[in-house]
């Protein structure tokens, strides 16, 4: 590292004009020493004020992890030369870490590839019980998976008991059938394993070595190991040469390096003159080359950072950010290092030059960077030349400006000539030109440097002098409250008000305005901690024999001060830079320094979540636990990120859920939200929205306010609330715990007009017995070193507590300015009075002042909220210490005590952290207390702001929250409307029963329309999302609010349609009967006797049956009626159509028999044959009906398919085939009859009955053809009505068409009822 730095300092092109120094410390491979050294270099030594180090070069993985985690928030880059853990490649966890050694992933993969290449399918493994061994073997196993390579065993060795583990591993290797052994261990551990193998004479194993021991000289030179480890195949860190390094090492001498203590110690035992020594052996530089690369990476990053083109511009015109070598920001170094890693110069063969040689040169991957280097040199040279030229005639016997002018003319001329020569020179000649131009102007540039030092030194002399005096960027208050004890508990509270933010102009060093004005609530928290500690010290059962002390500092609500205070307590703060050496330290200061000499193992701090996050990340690697009393961010519950964080306030998740439950409980479905633009507001709103999701609660708006622009944001939020459509009368506010109990808001009369009825979640309150008495008994005379209370006393009583105390206060190092005594101090330090003036202005207290009879907010303990959290935190710490220090074998002599006991003076934070995780106790008030990870069981109060007669507001407890359970006394709430009725806040009124919600397009779910339910659907509750369908046998009532049973519906005799059809059927039967009577009376007339009177009577009988069978279809269906109606219908109509068919056949036969040779035809159509034919045709239908009704008869069934309030009771056709056969057979006979009658229509006869039959059958067929679609499409009982209508229509058609003309002649034209008339044609 030293060689590389000196080489860079000699390089005129890399960091010109900047000298790199170094500071190297020994860490002894111990993490605390490494951390202490790193912090001392980054933050400055505590013994003296030195320059800060912007970049570190360090070693092993574990050390790098710790240092990177600690320095990460400070953005200090770390470059490691030996940390190979794969975990360090995670840029999210280690953004400031770099390394010049590859990750172990690659060596594990290389070893796996070797095993696969040599077909070693059966291997053993010995690995260290560290990240190095465990992660490497994990990657190795992943790489060989599925490649046919297996591990017979994996032996793990521990460095703490390496001897026994090495012996066990050796025996395992000997007993193994695997001949190839993989070892991932440090070389010292491997040596023990190999020596054990030598002892048991195991010499036939092939070892595969990791880089940690493959190149160890200690192993290579050991003769015992050589018998065992011959033929080892290993992966090693790549080696490289460093030109000139060997000569550098050999030329080292203590006389040249008088301050080099390491080298002096080395030379006391070794002489390097003409000696071959491992120290001077540079044949295989491995780790040394990694260090060399790390130095060059840092140098190039610094070069890029410091190459600022506008450095010499006036400050007002320099808009670019230029870095000074004395003021390097580590964050910018990281950026530059990343840039160099992307585009570094690399060796390259230049094939462009034509000739027998190819030039190996350094190729500038980034020409911009090279030109910036040259441009910056040129800028400085030209500036120097100009200044020297102006100063050349100044009166002086030896005016050096003339020499500088001449030297700079030569310098500029040479480098101006360099540019064309460089570009035109071939091959290595270009490099020669660079070297020549570097050597030639060497002396002039030295003169230039001296001149610049002289000129700049005069201008910045005052700054240099000031830099030798230690100063802090933000001067924190050095006041503290402390008490000696065996164990010191640290406390950080925001005891002073933080002024509003000051905008930084970046034209000078940033600074904070001082905090002024003592915060009485924070002061009460402080004494809650003091009271708890004194109460514990008086307790004989808790920490017996151990006195707890405390050290309390003010953090003023500022993160740097909180962090500084925490680190000073955790790491000690006994060594200070003496800023005011002329002022002798007071007694209070000496006592504070004595207490500060003790390290604090636990802190009670973090008054905000951001402070808790920062401190947990900083103190986490040190395992220092701290308990917060006010950090409520849900993110802090993550134990993987914040393992050392605890708190006595619930996570904001619970209060957000409680507020969501209140909104759901009171049915506030349309709300607005105002949140602060911090984690507190954003995370709480997120949890609130998750909780109300799907519960019918919507947010009309979410207004975000920023603390920096609170005036404008507050006005905007107020206008938004005013314009909101949420229907909360007079605006009902729901408050979070951060303002629900604020006395400042409760006492403001203007706010009381707006915020009456506020409902809020508050930190639970609890009583602390004896605390009020403790506060009232406080007196400065009893606490002479308590400067916080003295300041409170001076402010409240307007006097200085005692002349002696006043004098001590004047000379105290910690005394406060007058500005801290007023609530509204002046920030102008020039006009502020001195301490002496302020103190002289106050009279000396008489000694009668007391808090006993005073009503004051400081002594009000009626509602202890945050103070009780502090109280709980102290007891949690005390019980953890009690558990840690309760050693069961403490009284046994040391020689016989095998257990590890902790001493109060030597408490390890890691052990205390483990016991704090297990705390499960009850407080003096009987409350069970334990940690669930970082959190305690969630408990809140529910409060209500109610009006008082004076016009202000008072806080009333109305319930509490226990976990996720809400306990609320609604009758005690006073709403913003002044009534006991819960305010209504909806976008749309709830839908009444019988309707459902229908979301409006493009609007939130809480804005909707109410749509009536469809028929057959109901909604029986308010705000239904869906209408429910009624069961199949039920239907919705008229209001669609309930399902009622569906009424049975069938074609009844008492309804209009039934009466009409019954009347028609009975009338048809009566008319048929009348015709039958007429025919009987006139049975001897020619009209009756023509065409076989028997068939006429049989036809009239069948027609009567057809009319009467329709009555069977009317009425409530039953089993027998369903069967009988279809049989009666089918048989009656077949009988009717059969008579007509036989009549037609007889007519045809009569006329055919009149032809010559057809006399015998009539013998087949005699009366007997006619009756037989009718019987035959009818019997076929009887058989069809019998089979149908016996196999699958119709049965009564409720038809639920028809939608409506009624259900149809009908005869269900179980067999459609049977019904179709019945109808088909009737149709077949009818069509046959129609065809025959049509053929006989023109036969010679005055009264040809075939014409009547033709016309009647046309009507019959038309009716039944129209019946089919009407039957299929008719709903419910109308199916039956259609069938009855078809029966009646076809029956009336047959009756009228066939018998009406005959009756007309018989009754009205008897003169035509003669044989002569009928035979006329």
Pairing of strands 122-128, 953-962: unpaired
pLDDT digits 0-9 by tens, 915-929 = 999 898 877 777 788
CB distance 943 to 765 below 8 Å: no
pLDDT digits 0-9 by tens, 439-488 = 444 444 443 333 333 333 333 333 333 333 344 444 455 688 999 999 99
Higher pLDDT, 1203 or 735: 735
Q: Please report the DSSP string for 1260-1302 in residue order.
A: HHHHHHHHHHHHHH--TTHHHHHHHHHHHHHHHHHHHHHHHHH
Distance from C-alpha of 73 to C-alpha of 605, rounded to nearest angstrom? 19
Higher pLDDT, 389 or 1037: 1037
Q: Residue 402 has what pLDDT?
A: 74
Confidence tier at 768 by pLDDT (50, 70, 90): very high
Tokens read off for 286: 């491995």
Residue 149 three-state SS: coil
CB count within 10 Å of CB 1113 equals 24
Question: Phi and psi for 440 in degrees, rounded to 5?
Answer: -60, -50
Listed range (653-662, 940-949, 1293-1302) with the worst mean pLDDT = 1293-1302
pLDDT digits 0-9 by tens, 281-323 = 888 899 999 999 999 999 998 888 887 655 444 444 444 455 6
* Residue 1317 reports pLDDT greater than 80: no
**pLDDT above 90 as % of the chain:** 26
CB neighbours of 1084 closer than 8 A, spacing ≥ 6? none
Distance from C-alpha of 754 to C-alpha of 749, rounded to nearest angstrom? 9
**pLDDT above 70 as % of the chain:** 78
Distance from C-alpha of 389 to C-alpha of 383, rounded to nearest angstrom? 10
Tokens read off for 568: 């000073």
The mean pLDDT value for 989-1007 works out to 87
Residue 674 three-state SS: strand
Q: Where would I find the H helices in 460-586?
A: 461-467, 520-538, 559-571
Distance from C-alpha of 1278 to C-alpha of 626, rounded to nearest angstrom? 86
Q: Where would I find the H helices in 317-366?
A: 330-342
Tokens read off for 463: 């700054």
Tokens read off for 1093: 């009177």
Distance from C-alpha of 1279 to C-alpha of 1289, rounded to nearest angstrom? 15
Distance from C-alpha of 780 to C-alpha of 588, rounded to nearest angstrom? 14
Q: Residue 445 has what pLDDT?
A: 41
Q: pTM of whole model > 0.85?
A: no
Q: Please report the DSSP string for 1194-1237 in residue order.
A: -EEEEE--S-SSEEEEEEE-S-HHHHHHHHHHHHHHHHHHHHHH
pLDDT digits 0-9 by tens, 104-154 = 899 999 999 999 999 999 999 999 988 788 888 999 999 999 999 999 999
Q: Residue 538 has what pLDDT?
A: 94
Tokens read off for 207: 């070892």
Mean pLDDT of all residues belonging to the chain: 79
Listed range (74-78, 246-250, 727-731, 969-973) with the worst mean pLDDT = 727-731
Confidence tier at 695 by pLDDT (50, 70, 90): confident
Block residue for tokens 């002798």: 584
DSSP 100: S
Higher pLDDT, 502 or 1295: 1295
Question: Phi and psi for 1067 in degrees, rounded to 5?
Answer: -60, -45
* Residue 687 reports pLDDT greater than 60: yes
Q: Where would I find the H helices in 425-540?
A: 429-439, 442-459, 461-467, 520-538
* Residue 383 reports pLDDT greater than 70: yes
The mean pLDDT value for 540-557 works out to 91
Q: Residue 815 has what pLDDT?
A: 38
CB distance 605 to 566 below 8 Å: yes
* Residue 339 reports pLDDT greater than 60: no
Beta bridge partners of residue 482, listed in sequence order: 551
Beta bridge partners of residue 999, listed in sequence order: 1008
Q: Kindly give the interhelix angle for 1119-1153 and 1249-1273, rounded to the nearest 10 degrees.
A: 150
pLDDT digits 0-9 by tens, 714-730 = 999 999 998 887 644 46
Tokens read off for 747: 């006492």
Q: Kindly give the interhelix angle for 1249-1273 and 1278-1303, rounded to the nearest 10 degrees.
A: 170
* Residue 335 reports pLDDT greater than 50: no
Distance from C-alpha of 736 to C-alpha of 940, rounded to nearest angstrom? 11
Q: Where would I find the H helices in 234-286?
A: 245-250, 261-267
């Amino acid at each position: 590292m030293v060689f590389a730095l000196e080489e860079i300092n000699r390089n005129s092109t890399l960091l010109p004009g900047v000298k790199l120094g170094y500071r190297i410390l020994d860490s002894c491979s111990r993490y605390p020493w490494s951390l202490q050294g790193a912090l001392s270099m980054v933050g400055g030594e505590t013994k003296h004020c030195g320059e800060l180090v912007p970049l570190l070069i360090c070693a092993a993985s574990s050390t790098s992890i710790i240092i990177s985690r600690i320095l990460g928030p400070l953005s200090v880059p770390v470059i490691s030369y030996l940390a190979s853990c794969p975990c360090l490649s995670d840029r999210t966890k280690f953004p400031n870490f770099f390394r010049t050694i590859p990750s172990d992933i690659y060596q594990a993969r290389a070893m796996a590839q070797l095993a696969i290449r040599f077909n070693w399918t059966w291997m053993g493994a010995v690995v260290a019980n560290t990240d190095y061994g465990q992660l490497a073997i994990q990657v190795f196993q992943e790489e060989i998976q599925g490649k046919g390579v297996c591990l017979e065993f994996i032996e793990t060795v521990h460095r703490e008991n390496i001897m026994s583990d090495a012996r066990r591993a050796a025996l395992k290797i000997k007993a193994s059938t695997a001949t190839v052994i993989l070892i991932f261990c440090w070389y010292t551990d491997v040596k023990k394993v190999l020596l054990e193998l030598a002892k048991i004479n195991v010499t036939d194993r092939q070892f595969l070595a990791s880089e940690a021991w493959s190149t160890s000289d200690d192993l290579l030179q050991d003769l015992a190991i050589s018998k065992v480890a011959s033929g080892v195949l290993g992966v090693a860190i790549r080696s490289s040469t460093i030109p000139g390094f060997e000569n550098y090492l050999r030329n080292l001498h203590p006389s040249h390096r008088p301050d080099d203590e390491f080298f002096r110690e080395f030379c006391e035992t070794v002489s390097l003159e003409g000696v071959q020594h491992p120290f001077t052996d540079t044949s295989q530089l491995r780790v040394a080359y990694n260090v060399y690369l790390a130095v060059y990476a840092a140098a190039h990053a610094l070069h890029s950072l410091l190459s600022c083109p506008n450095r010499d511009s006036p400050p007002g015109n320099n808009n670019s950010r230029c870095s000074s070598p004395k003021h390097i920001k580590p964050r910018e170094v990281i950026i530059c290092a990343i840039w160099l890693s992307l585009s570094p110069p690399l060796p390259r063969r230049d094939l462009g030059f034509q000739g027998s040689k190819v030039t190996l040169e350094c190729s500038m991957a980034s020409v911009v960077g090279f030109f910036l280097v040259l441009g910056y040199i040129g800028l400085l040279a030209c500036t120097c030349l100009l200044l020297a030229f102006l100063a050349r005639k100044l009166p002086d016997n030896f005016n050096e400006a003339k020499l500088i002018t001449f030297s700079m003319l030569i310098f500029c001329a040479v480098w101006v000539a360099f540019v064309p020569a460089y570009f035109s020179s071939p091959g290595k000649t270009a490099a020669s030109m660079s070297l020549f131009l570097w050597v030639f102007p060497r002396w002039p540039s030295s003169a230039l440097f001296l001149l610049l030092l002289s000129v700049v030194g005069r201008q910045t002399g005052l700054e240099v002098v000031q830099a030798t005096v230690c100063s802090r960027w933000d001067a924190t208050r050095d006041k503290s409250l402390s008490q000696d004890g065996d164990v010191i508990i640290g406390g950080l509270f925001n005891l002073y008000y933080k002024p509003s933010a000051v905008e930084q102009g970046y034209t000078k060093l940033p600074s904070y305005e001082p905090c002024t004005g003592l915060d009485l609530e924070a002061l009460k928290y402080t004494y809650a901690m003091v009271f708890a500690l004194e109460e514990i010290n008086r307790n004989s059962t808790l920490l017996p024999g151990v006195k707890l002390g405390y050290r309390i500092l003010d953090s003023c609500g500022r993160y740097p001060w909180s962090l500084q205070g925490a680190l000073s307590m955790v790491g000690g703060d006994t060594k200070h830079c003496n800023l005011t050496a002329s002022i002798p330290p007071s007694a209070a200061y000496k006592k504070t320094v004595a207490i500060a000499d003790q390290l604090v193992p636990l802190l009670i701090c973090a008054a905000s979540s951001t402070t808790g996050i920062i401190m947990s990340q900083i103190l986490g690697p040190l395992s220092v636990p701290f308990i917060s009393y006010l950090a409520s961010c849900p993110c802090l519950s993550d134990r993987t990120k914040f393992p050392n964080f605890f708190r006595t306030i619930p996570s904001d998740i619970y209060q957000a859920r409680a507020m969501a439950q209140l909104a759901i409980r009171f049915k506030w479905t349309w709300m607005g939200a105002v949140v602060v633009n911090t984690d507190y507001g954003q995370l709480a709103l997120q949890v609130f929205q998750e909780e109300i999701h799907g519960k019918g609660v919507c947010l009309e708006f979410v207004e975000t306010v920023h603390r920096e622009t609170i005036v404008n944001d507050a006005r905007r939020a107020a206008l938004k609330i005013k314009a909101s459509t949420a229907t909360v009368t007079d605006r009902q506010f729901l408050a979070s715990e951060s303002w629900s109990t604020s006395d400042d808001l409760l006492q403001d009369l203007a706010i009381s007009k707006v915020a009456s009825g506020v409902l809020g979640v508050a930190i639970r309150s609890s009583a602390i017995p004896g605390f009020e008495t403790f506060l009232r008994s406080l007196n400065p005379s009893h606490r002479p070193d308590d400067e916080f209370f003295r300041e409170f006393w001076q402010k409240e009583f307007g006097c200085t507590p005692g002349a002696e105390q006043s004098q001590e206060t004047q000379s105290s190092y910690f005394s406060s300015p007058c500005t801290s005594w007023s609530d509204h101090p002046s920030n102008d330090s020039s006009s502020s009075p001195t301490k002496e003036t302020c103190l002289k202005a106050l009279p000396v207290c008489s000694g009668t002042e007391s808090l006993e009879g005073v009503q004051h907010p400081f002594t009000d303990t009626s509602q202890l909220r945050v103070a009780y959290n502090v109280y709980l935190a102290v007891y949690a710490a005390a019980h953890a210490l009690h558990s840690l220090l309760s050693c069961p074998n403490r009284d046994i002599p040391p020689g016989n005590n095998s257990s590890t006991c902790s001493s109060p003076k030597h408490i390890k934070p890691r052990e205390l952290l483990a016991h704090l995780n297990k705390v499960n106790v009850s407080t003096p008030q009987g409350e069970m207390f334990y940690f669930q990870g970082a959190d305690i069981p969630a408990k809140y109060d529910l409060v209500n702001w109610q009006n008082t007669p004076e016009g202000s507001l008072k806080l009333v407890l109305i319930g509490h929250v226990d976990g996720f359970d809400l306990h609320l006394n609604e009758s005690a709430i006073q709403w913003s409307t002044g009534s006991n009725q819960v305010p209504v806040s909806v976008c749309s009124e709830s839908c009444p029963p019988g309707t459902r919600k229908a979301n409006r397009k493009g609007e939130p779910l809480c804005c909707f329309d109410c749509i009536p339910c469809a028929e057959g659907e109901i909604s029986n509750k308010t705000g239904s999302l869906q209408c429910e369908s009624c069961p199949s046998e039920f239907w919705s009532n008229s209001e669609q609010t309930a399902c009622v049973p569906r009424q049975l519906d069938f074609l009844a005799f008492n309804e209009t349609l039934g009466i009409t059809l019954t009347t028609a059927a009975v009338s048809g039967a009566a008319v048929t009967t009348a015709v039958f009577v007429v025919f009987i009376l006139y049975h001897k007339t020619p009209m009756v006797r023509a065409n076989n009177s028997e068939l006429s009577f049989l036809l009239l009988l069948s027609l009567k049956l057809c009319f009467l069978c329709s009555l069977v279809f009317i009425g409530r269906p039953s089993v027998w009626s369903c069967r009988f109606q279809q049989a009666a219908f089918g048989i009656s109509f077949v009988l009717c159509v059969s008579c007509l068919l036989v009549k037609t056949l007889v007519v045809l036969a009569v006329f055919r028999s009149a032809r010559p040779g057809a006399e015998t035809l009539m013998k087949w159509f005699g009366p007997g044959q006619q009756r037989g034919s009718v019987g035959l045709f009818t019997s076929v239908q009887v058989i069809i009906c019998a089979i149908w009704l016996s196999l699958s008869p119709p049965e009564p069934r409720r038809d639920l398919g028809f939608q409506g309030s009624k259900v149809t009771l009908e005869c269900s056709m179980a067999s459609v085939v049977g019904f179709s056969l019945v109808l088909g057979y009737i149709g077949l006979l009818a069509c046959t009859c129609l065809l025959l009658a049509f053929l006989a229509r023109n036969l010679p006869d005055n009264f040809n009955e075939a014409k009547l039959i033709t016309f009647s059958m046309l009507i019959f067929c038309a009716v039944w053809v129209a019946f089919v679609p009407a039957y299929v499409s008719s709903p419910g009982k109308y199916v039956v009505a259609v069938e009855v209508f078809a029966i009646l229509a076809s029956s009336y058609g047959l009756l009228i068409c066939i018998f009406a003309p005959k009756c007309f002649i018989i009754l009205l034209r008897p003169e035509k009822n003669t044989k002569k008339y009928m035979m006329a044609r």
